[in-house]
A = this chain, B = another copy of it.
Amino acid sequence: MKSQIVTFLIKCPDQKGLVAKFTSFFYEEGFNIVSCQQYVNAAANRYYMRIRLDAADTTISKETLETKFEKIAKTLNCNWSAHYESEQQNVAIMVSHTSHCLYDLLERQREGDLDCNISLIISNHTKLKSIADMFDVPFYHLPITKETKKEQETQVIELLKKYQVDLIVMARYMQILSEEFINQYPERIINIHHSFLPAFQGANPYQRAYERGVKLIGATAHYATVDLDEGPIIEQDVERITHESTPKTLKRIGADVERLVLAKAVKSHLQHQIIVSDNRAIVFPETGE
């Protein structure tokens, strides 16, 4: 394959000699191991690896590589995926009324901080179309009502297929996706929730945070699952507030936490730093280049 970075994400039952076996395999195939990160969950006896390979010195084809690796994987009962730098991912952003996360993702992608295509923006409202226009990204307005929910989702899915979308980012999309929808994109839908989950699941977290009198507010980026706000948490952060903070100021302060948390989660996903296991997201830290 052409010279590039290949990332393998591997999970399997823990057993002796795994690092040695995996690293020897890639070494013998002529790869240079750029970084090798592992996590052993001793309690669950599970093993996880993220390994990044430089293909500069090997002529092996993608197919051969995967076929050969699958042989080992089978014997070790591995679950794995391989990701090729040369295959850029397509992202769809879904929004409703709130603009800060949308701006943030569009900017980062435009400035080269997010290595992906932002293929389209889908909204159940027209309010944010002007922002899509500013950044020259196709904007689709698909309104939704109780009655039309099913068919709206069908339209959304058609668009996702048409644009061959790899990742869906719910950047403050204020609709609950149906089980059918979510099951079509396992670990490929990232949602930002405007609270420090599991605190304030559900609606109006800032109002409830104000009423509870918390001293910090937060945001949580997680993979969407059929259990609302209970998917694997990718990233969280908080900001200090005071008794002077009104629900309105909480919303403004929280917006800055949301945008950063969502951007970090999306970046971690795009860089293949995440392995999900037992509803927990193992997020390997970014390694220096």
Contacts and interface: CB of A to CB of B under 8 A. Distances in A.
Interface of A: 16-20, 23-24, 26-28, 32-43, 57, 99-100, 103, 107, 111, 113, 134-135, 196-200, 211-216, 218, 232-238, 240, 242-246, 248-249, 252, 256, 260, 279-283, 285-289
A237 B237 CA distance: 11
Nearest to A261: B215
A57 to B, nearest CB: 8
Contacts of A243: 39, 280-283
Contacts of A248: 289
Contacts of A198: 199-200, 212, 214
A197 B214 contact: yes
Contact of A27 (B20, B32, B41, B214): B20
Contacts of A236: 214-216
A252 B288 CA distance: 12
B99 A42 contact: no
A213 B20 CA distance: 29
B288 A244 contact: yes
Nearest to A259: B256
Contacts of A282: 243
A218 B282 CA distance: 20
B286 A244 contact: yes
A256 B42 CA distance: 25
B24 A20 contact: yes
A252 to B, nearest CB: 6
Contacts of A196: 196, 199, 216, 238
Nearest to A30: B16
A213 B17 CA distance: 28
Contact of A107 (B17, B37, B103, B214): B103
Nearest to A51: B19
Q: Which 9 A-B pairs have the closest CB atoms?
A: A213-B280, A199-B199, A20-B23, A20-B27, A243-B282, A19-B23, A246-B288, A215-B236, A244-B288
B249 A288 contact: yes
A192 to B, nearest CB: 14
